[in-house]
Amino acid sequence: MKTSKLFLTLGIAGLLSVSLITSAEEKTGKDIFVNNKCNMCHSINSLSIESKMPNKYPDLSEVGKLDLKTADIKKYLMKEGELNGKKHAIKFKGDAAELDTLVNWLQT
């Protein structure tokens, strides 16, 4: 009986720790934007995210209103495609899931 209570307690503790780890790893688009230092060049004035180089690079507040396909933005950020005849200055360094989250967030 004591053994089964111990296993039940350990099982519940294990499930709780896994769910806490999973939720802690989920990053928002804003987290990814800031953690990857996108704000070194770009601002998002609508969210009070300021660029470290104001007026040099475009504000990204209106990206969602532009007629850009998700795949094209991803290629651009990975330096695999061009927008307005230019490649992005820096290749995105996050993983595929972070890229998805970032691009979806920028488009909202």
Residue ranges per domain, the chain?
28-106
Question: What whole-number distance in Å separates Cα of residue 39 and Cα of residue 104?
Answer: 17
Q: What is the pLDDT of residues 58-83, one digit of tens each?
A: 999 999 999 999 999 999 999 999 99
Q: Between 9 and 51, whose confidence is greater? A: 51
For the cut 70, the answer to whether the pLDDT of residue 1 exceeds it is no
The alpha carbon torsion through 51, 41, 55, 86 (nearest 10 deg) reads -150
Single out the residue of 46, 63, 48 nearest to residue 102, CA to CA.
63
* Least confident segment among 12-26, 38-52, 60-74, 75-89: 12-26
* Residues pairing with 84 in the sheet: none
CA angle 19, 21, 24 (to 5 degrees): 105
Residue 13 corresponds to which tokens in the numbers above? 């503790």
**28-106: what fold?**
Cytochrome Bc1 Complex; Chain D, domain 2 (1.10.760)
The alpha carbon torsion through 57, 43, 82, 93 (nearest 10 deg) reads 120
Report, as an integer, the average pLDDT of 11-32. 68
Compute the radius of gyration of the chain from its Cα atoms. 20
